[in-house]
Structure 1
């Protein structure tokens, strides 16, 4: 600056004009130097880094490029030049301090932006591993971001007011209650996230049901404050993370891992259609593939029992008899055992429940070997189509409340009578 002033003074310029031109040229040189440095960093250094990253054998560092971590850091270089060049305005302390503070604030913002991008890249890298579905870290990343921006805000305020950041930190104890209120959801979410992860209660990809929030679908994202669920109708439900600790929900992961989905449905049989099997019915049952061996063995067992206990079987009340409902139950069991879509390693049974006003419930409890929703519903429908259709072959009637057709059949069709 002294050399520039002397140069312009030797040209017989006024002292004020010489000083103005000196500062103008120095400022122009600083701007030009900052521009050249920024150009070198972005056009040469960043390109070399990008070329190295794209050509090496690692894939994780590509996430750093995608999140523009190095590009954000490159903005610091011009700010450093401007910060250290502020000494040329030493004759104007206010202007020098303003430039220093502006450069520092800009550097802090760029560093915060770069660290934020770096944390996003860390989360992206982590999600490339299978463990991320079991133990997501996005909630912890968000906590780290909150701390980062909190510290960054303190540094910015301390820089602007020219105070030591530790003094500002010391005053935070007085407003801790306010901070607890402001960050209440984040604190609850952090605690819930730790419990969810530690107890393996929920993962990305799990199918969950939470009726309180009308959620029924797959978990697609777990964050600090919310869990995002995509329902089967493709709507999105956002559930607070702490709700999974305080409220009940159903996780279908066990069903998915077991490879079988449960069928638990009852068929109601009209109890007035239940009877002992006649000789004609037994002969017909012997023609059914799933019952032939059962009928033959059961006849021999009953005959041996009657002979052993000297039972007079001329009356149906005496001794043991085959019933159409019992034979029908055995048929359904054998049918399920031979069904190709029924899981053979999981529980399968056909049982009677307590009779009620709708008849005798015959419950089918089994598991399909296909857990996909559409296929599961199709398998279940096919099974009940069949067992309902064959019920009359056993002399049974499926119960249903009287319909208009039943009433017309009983009273006669009034339309036909009028015609």
Structure 2
């Protein structure tokens, strides 16, 4: 009994020396260094965890020297010590993983990497390996022999946990391919999600919708179905405007002399009209079928729209600006505007509204009418 008391006291004394004297001295020495990596190791308890091995090994050696234990008891004691060492080693590795995660998160060029997902995968691997080693120690079997036995049960496990495994694999694929990051604006119609990504896990992606609700999307659903990620728009700093107005086809015709005289000196059209006339395009005469190329109010209106868009500071002139005709239908002739503006949602909507306010008002200036279905006229 006296020997046990002495051993316990020695273990407690060694623990006090290790954690109350040695550890603070190491922390002070680390704080004096100019490196950041050792501070991160300290913050993630790497040093304190690795020092835990000292009293464990001391206990193992001291007990075996002082006590003549039966073989069975010594075997159980040795296994218990081995399990403790395995747990300490796993905790040390986890500290290193967390330190690497913290170090990478401080590097601006690496912030776009899915660091948290890679960390989760590494942590899960450490847990699995630790469990295999602990079970092999308990049953006194080789880890490889244990893995051989486990592999036979894997088929059944995969059948039972098929959805979990698919989600895990999809999460790894999502992370490695960087399909989604925290802060991305994604639109996933199947899951009724349209907003900013606030969390990317190995099995679930959380999205804060613009109505402030939170949608949780299984990663497997996200990978196996199509979704829109607006990250490219934000990275280029430009958002596309793509909208059409519908013109009454009965109002489309040749540009009259009267209309030409009205617009020929307009700063947005003067060069266009001059170039057209110089290239042999003429102005149609009243009540005469033209035999040559003539100006039309629609073509001139399209040129005006493109010139107007190029003149607006809010529209990106370094990117595609286009006004094009689409196929005519019973709803009129679609005239589509295609350009790029600010990525800010509120500014984008204001710019788009200003553009179409102006275009809708300017159409009448070219003797063009905006098509609008009128049920009363259709029933006459």
Instruction: Tell me which interval the TM-score lies in, with the shorter structure as reference length.
Output: 0.7 to 0.9
Query: Is residue 356 of structure 2 the alignment partner of residue 381 of structure 1?
Result: no
Q: Which residue of 1 aligns with 2:261?
A: 283
Look up the SS of the partner of 1:342 in the other structure: coil
Q: 1:126 to 1:177 in 2, by over 3 A?
A: same
Secondary structure of 2:313's match?
coil
Shift of 1:353: 1.3
**Does structure 1 residue 339 correspond to structure 2 residue 339?**
no
* CA distances 1:359-403 after superposition (whole Å, capped 9, x unpaired): 2211101122x2233322221111112112222333333223348
Choose the corresponding residue for 2:298, options 325, 332, 349: 325
> Aligned partners of 1:384, 1:115: CA distance in 2, in Å?
60
- Counterpart CA distance in 2 for 1:271 and 1:186 is 58
- What 5-or-longer segments of structure 2 have no aligned partner? none
Q: Which residue of 2 aligns with 1:417?
A: none
- CA distance in 2 between counterparts of 1:109 and 1:198 reads 29
TM-score (norm 1): 0.75
Aligned to 1:14: none
Which aligned pairs between 1:331-410 and structure 2 lie closer than 5 A? 331-368=304-341, 370-402=342-374
The aligned counterpart of 1:176 is 154
Once residues 79 and 109 of structure 2 are traced to their aligned partners in structure 1, the CA distance between those partners, rounded to angstroms, is: 44
Partners of 1:64 and 1:242 in 2: CA distance: 35
Aligned residues: 377
When residues 212 and 112 of structure 1 are mapped into structure 2, their CA distance, relative to the original with a 3 A threshold, is same
Root mean square deviation, CA, Å: 3.6
Cα distance between partner residues in 1 of 2:276 and 2:125: 76
CA distance in 2, matches of 1:182, 1:115: 31
Distance 1:85 1:183 in 2: 46
CA contact (8 A) 1:133 1:204 kept: no
The answer as to whether partners of 1:269 and 1:361 remain within 8 angstroms in 2 is yes
Alignment CA distance shift 1:330-1:372 (3 Å): same
C-alpha deviation, 1:298, in angstroms: 4.1
Deviation at residue 273 of structure 1 after TM alignment = 3.2
Is residue 103 of structure 2 the alignment partner of residue 125 of structure 1?
Answer: yes
Pairs within 5 Å for 1:8-407: 23=1, 25-87=2-64, 88-90=66-68, 99-181=77-159, 184=162, 188=166, 192=170, 201-202=179-180, 205-219=183-197, 222-243=200-221, 245-298=223-276, 313=285, 315-319=287-291, 320-368=293-341, 370-402=342-374
Please report how far the alpha carbon of residue 218 of structure 1 lies from its aligned counterpart in structure 2 after TM superposition. 4.3
Structure-1 separation of matches of 2:374 and 2:5: 96
User: Cα distance 1:115–1:173, how it changes in 2: closer, same or farther (>3 A)?
Assistant: same
CA deviations over 1:263-307 (Å, ceiling 9, x no partner): 1100112233334444333232235331234345545656x758x
Larger Cα-atom Rg = 1
Cα distance in structure 2, aligned partners of 1:196 and 1:221: 13
How has the CA–CA distance of structure 1 residues 199 and 142 changed in structure 2, closer, same or farther, with 3 Å as cutoff?
closer
* Distance verdict in 2 for CA 1:227–1:272, change over 3 Å: same
8 Å contact from structure 2 (residues 282, 295) kept in 1: no
Cα pair distance change 1:171/1:314, threshold 3 Å: closer
Distance 1:215 1:45, change over 3 A: farther
What SS class does the counterpart of residue 190 from structure 2 fall into? helix
Q: Is the 8 A contact 1:206 1:251 kept in 2?
A: yes
**Structure 1 residues 272 and 315, CA gap change in structure 2 (3 angstroms):** closer
Greater CA deviation, 340-349 or 215-224? Answer: 215-224
Structure 1, 355-364 or 70-79: larger mean CA deviation: 70-79
